[in-house]
Amino acid sequence: MEDIFQGYKGGALEVLKKYNVRVWGTAKISTIRGDFEGTILPRSENDDDQHIVLKIITGYNIGVDIITITDMKETGYKKANYKIPEKEFPFTDGLPNVKLFGTGGTIASRLDYRTGAVIPAFSPGELYGAVPELADICNLTTEKVFAVFSENMGPKQYMQLAKAIGKEIENGVDGIVIGHGTDTMHHTGAALTFMVQNSPIPIIIVGSQRSSDRPSSDAALNLMHAMYAAGNADIAEVMVCMFGPTSDEYGLLHKGTRVRKMHSSYRSTFRTIGDTPLAMVNRHKIDYIKKEYKPRRKDRNVTIKPYFSDKVTMFYYYPGMKRDTLDAIVDLGYKGIVFIGTGLGHVNKELYPAIERAKKKGVYMFMTLQTIWGFVQMFVYETGREMMAKGIVPGGNMLPEVAYIKLGWALGQTDDLEEVNRLMLTPINDEITEREPYNGYLLYQGGIPEVEEFIKKVHK
Amino acid sequence: MQKFNPVKNYQATRKTIAYVSRKEATLNDYKRIGFMSGLEVHQQLKTAKKLFCRCPAGILHDNDDYNAEIIRHMRPTLSELGEYDGTALMEFKTRKEIIYRLNNQTTCTYDIDDTPPFIINKEALEYALEISLLSNLNIVGEVHITRKQYLDGSIPAGFQRTAILGVEGHIQLKNKKVRLIQLSIEEDSCREISDIGHTRVYKTDRLGIPLIETVTYPDCETPDELREAAEYIRFLNRSTGKVRTGMGAGREDVNVSCKGGTRIEIKGVAHNKWIPELSHNEAFRQWALLNVQKLLKVQVKNQEKWKIKSKKIDPAELMLKNKLMAAIDFSDKEVYAVNLEGFQGILSHFTQPKQCFANEIADRLKVVACIEKPNMIHSEEIDGSNIKADLDKIKELLNAGENDAQIVFWGPKEDIPTALETIEERCIMAFDTIPQETRKSFKDGTTIFERVLPGADRMYPDTDSAPIPLANDYIESLNKNLPVEIFKRYEQLRKWGIPSDTDNYILKNNLIPVIEQIEKLKVPAKFVGTFFGHTLKNIEGKRKKHEDFAYNRIVKMFEFIQENKLHYAISKMMLPVLLEHPNMDFFSILTSINFKKRSIEEILAPVNYLNEKFRETNSQTNKEKVVDWIMGQLHKQATGNLELSELKTKIEKAIK
């Protein structure tokens, strides 16, 4: 049966029932604070049960306190329609063929002004309706692989996605774009790098920091940048394509293994860590920053390695940490632990017995850094040397999240200690680099005259 | 057949629609054209911080005082029916690059939509609720933050966070009740620095300052009534003492229509005194456009198939002689001639003082196609600047008919398609609609096209904010501490006998509570009222007010006068000094104006001597004259020591 009281519960539900007024009904409500008139809207599940939501004639929403209601009358009824209009995505000879995979994140959408609901646009027709410029960039086909929020993306989805990509490459597409929520984009970037090896075409993960229902959203531009890069870039790697500066100027192509979300809400949140991005991209061109990359090829010889063990975890060290935390992880049966240590890769002595115990139980342990930038160097201090002796392997300048994904991927394939170590320490695509260029670490501080001059003169 | 003369046509059409200036206009004129008008009054609240972030509110910066710039483009979002709304489409057509100048002191990452909103400023919410209660509005049970889309870039997010606090209220004017639709609380927008070609520059200092908007029904039937409503709402807001004053802190959008016309919104009127002239001219502009419709029905037979005809021209090759075009460098522009079939007499049709229908097109070329003015000439210039030889060439080129009109416009190559579309669109609209617009106001009472009026389909819930319940006892507690309503204040002023020419000054500055304080010191309210509305207002116009000056100092001055048993009349002499030196000790002020405390006997001592002196030199012995003369000699010493009427009585007695 249809729910005619969407989201209402408790007191508010009682009141609606008492006066026989439905959601989507237009109603006149008398209260001790005066009269109100409008369309009854559904109520968000997490809001209280003391108010009824009305959309008044001027388009605004208000809430009416049920305690104040003295009478209520339904005067009409009009249910909202959620359908998004489709326009056929035009095929243009000579444009590259790009495949868009949907994972659940909203890339493009339109608003329902009656409900305020954001309706995702995903089919080529829907996307064309929302971002018509895409038709000038590529010929587009789409496929919804699954629908989960970014935070719910996990190993199962990585493997599913990797297989779908493999199939699509064999089908001969020129580039692949993956629509993705931004929170775990860099985890997926690493996972796909390991699972889809030797790709002949660009595989680009894209999303938006501001949802596409806002006029200032970065979604449309990100999508255009990603589609352009997928169809035209010479870089056949797994990449993330997001805003370079917060301004609507250009996007950056980041290597899937070196990229990280660095701000909770900024548009320019994705940064390449310990290196420069691969390229700058706008709607019409790509400016390559790095000279060396895996170039696009004509063949279709991709290798799909969809493996993952979920018996892997991360262990973020803090001063004063007790050894029982580590013991507990080991007792729960975890086989691989990525340590995130201080400084060059350290934890306190109190953990040593727990580390030895873990080692004895056959747990694979790797060290990464809280500093995010820089290399693990465990020879400098005795602590480091002691830890290595107890079985923790330094992870170079592998980012903690990347090391976690890689260890899960490695343990999904083998239990052999040497093989795990070999897989972990042999970079597939620069997850450990040989060198850190001077411009790979740039964190300018505001207030310093030359920095202020820079941000004033160059739009950021 | 007589030759068509645009200058004469302008005058003739002005006469046809019976335009009268506001000075000449009578109530009957407004009835004749069905003048109807309402207001959207914006008022900044006097809070320490902004509405949805913790930046300080109320600090303004010069255009060049900024630390960084960012760029945004606004994209329309599809509305419910899968269509772009009118404004949205127009804004998108203009392809504006919007640059924001950020100053770190007043702007954070929330302002540029790179950080989600913080919880709404509770201080602002409370002030706004007080004003809602004063406006007799029905207060909502729960505040829902809504996003209202703006694509002009005035808000970097592309939407303004706004929420309704109350609906269906009213204000009581002298002769009528004006109903209120609603009151909302919202974040103020950016200030525009420039808008040239495809680049618009804003500064973000004003962005996010808590603002309320009071919206009236279109109940005002004359421009004067409209102004009265505007003043009333302004005084009401100020009576709380919790709103900002000064440049731009209060602004009006004026909605005007005439019978058969449409709602036109005149944006951002900074002074209430401009309202009557602006609304008057706008109603008549619509009245004129209705006449244009009537004329076109006759002149253009097949309106449905009507199209412009255009041709790219080379002004140098054609050797056009008009002065305007001769002065323009066309090297980076293209020039087009456009024929408007059946439009003779329309381009020069009166719309506003010194403006004709052609202005409607030129304005849109600037705003929609981003072509800076001057952007066109036409065949019916009302300043008589047409050159016959030029027109003949253009007409020939376009193969124009007798009853056609022509436009020659120019602009960058990439803007030409939009420009052609814009001209055609505006002309076609003239057949049967007055396009819904927001218009920008000028001091002289005229307006120009600003944007297409956005529809209601641009509101949607802010998913970043939770609803805020307003409990009954909270609203009740606010209700108990409200200031007195403004119409009652007017009654109070009359009861006190304060002259009505002081009303504006007293209410504008929220001085009634101050008058009440001083009245308690046994100073007659009538004296205090004129003391503010005449004396203070007058001195403010002449002397520079010290930044520390506050009305509380005046209260203190009257307390001092009472404590020292002086007569309150001395206040008028002390005021100029107090205004310039508000921190000066009151005794020092008295010294500086040469005041000495004297007994009545001391003051009256020279009366007999003065009496004799007067009679010595004057043949007239009329007693009244004598008393007046002696008063003149003594009043300075007496002021502050005793009532002057008392002095007069005493003098009369003394000289018998």
Selected residues 45-104 of chain B with any CB under 8 Å from a CB in chain A: 66-82, 88, 99, 104
**Helix%, strand%, coil% for chain A, nearest 5:** 30, 25, 45
pLDDT at site A83: 56
Give kind and range of the element (H or E) at residue B207.
Answer: none
pLDDT band at B630 (very low <50, low <70, confident <90, very high): confident
Q: Say if A10-77 and A312-425 have the same CATH topology.
A: no
pLDDT band at A211 (very low <50, low <70, confident <90, very high): confident
Mean of pLDDT over chain A: 92
Which of A65, A118, A215 is closest, CB to CB, to B151? A215
Distance from CA of B39 to the nearest CA of A (A): 15
Domain boundaries, chain A: 10-77, 97-304, 312-425
**B199 close contact with A: CB closer than 8 A:** no
Topology, domain A97-304: Rossmann fold (3.40.50)
pLDDT at site B17: 96
Q: Quick check: B82 and A113 CB within 8 A?
A: no
DSSP collapsed to 3 states, A208-265: CCCCCCCCCCCHHHHHHHHHHHHHHCCECCEEEEEECCCCCCCEEEEECCCEEECCCC
Give kind and range of the element (H or E) at residue B461.
Answer: strand B459-461
Distance CA(B411)–CA(B404), nearest Å, equals 23
pLDDT at A25 over 50: yes
Q: Which residues of A touch B146 (CB under 8 A)?
A: 59-61
- Best mutation site among A44, A62, A223 for testing chain B: the one with the most B CBs within 10 Å? A62
A371-411 tens-digit pLDDT: 999 999 988 888 888 888 899 999 999 999 999 999 999 99
**For chain A, how many helices (H) and strands (E)?**
11, 23
CATH class entry, domain A312-425: alpha beta
Is residue B236 within 8 A of residue B207, CB to CB? The reply is no
Topology, domain B6-15+296-435: Gyrase A; domain 2 (3.30.1360)
Asked about A457 being catalytic, the answer comes back as no
Q: Quick check: B77 and A113 CB within 8 A?
A: no
ipTM of the prediction greater than 0.85, yes or no: yes
What single-letter amino acid sits at B215? V
Q: Quick check: A36 and B162 CB within 8 A?
A: no
Query: How long a stretch of residues is chain A?
Result: 460
Q: Which two tokens stand for residue A246?
A: 């917060």
Which of A63, A118, A247 is closest, CB to CB, to B467? A63
Closest chain B CA to residue A82: B80
pLDDT at site B82: 45
A29 versus B638: which is more confidently predicted?
A29
Given A26, A115, A142, A182, which residue is catalytic? A182
Which of B114, B159, B470 is closest, CB to CB, to A215? B159
Q: Which residues of A touch B158 (CB under 8 A)?
A: 214-217
Burial of B596 (0-12, 13-18, 19+ CB in 10 A): exposed
Q: Which residues of A touch B162 (CB under 8 A)?
A: 60
pLDDT band at B1 (very low <50, low <70, confident <90, very high): very low
Asked about A58 being catalytic, the answer comes back as no
In sequence order, what are the residues at sequence separation of 6 or more whose Cβ sits closer than 8 angstroms to the Cβ of residue B591? none
Domain boundaries, chain B: 6-15+296-435, 34-263, 484-595, 601-655
- The CATH architecture of the domain made up of A10-77 is Roll (2.30)
Q: Which residues of A touch B461 (CB under 8 A)?
A: 61, 116
Q: Quick check: A110 and B82 CB within 8 A?
A: yes
Q: Which residues of B touch A67 (CB under 8 A)?
A: 472
Which of B69, B141, B459 is closest, CB to CB, to A64? B141
B362-416 tens-digit pLDDT: 999 999 899 999 999 999 999 999 999 999 999 999 999 999 999 999 999 999 9
B264-293 tens-digit pLDDT: 999 989 899 999 999 999 999 999 999 999
B585-618 tens-digit pLDDT: 999 999 999 888 888 888 888 888 888 888 777 7
A421-440 tens-digit pLDDT: 999 999 999 999 999 999 99
Between the CA of residue A41 and those of A55, A370, B159, B249, B455, what are the distances in Å?
7, 47, 22, 35, 20
pLDDT at site B87: 53
Q: Quick check: A213 and B460 CB within 8 A?
A: yes
Q: Which residues of A touch B112 (CB under 8 A)?
A: 246
What predicted TM-score, i.e. pTM, was given to this entire model? 0.90
Asked about A39 being catalytic, the answer comes back as no
B529-554 tens-digit pLDDT: 999 999 999 999 999 999 999 999 99
Asked about A276 being catalytic, the answer comes back as no
Which of A67, A114, A460 is closest, CB to CB, to B68? A460
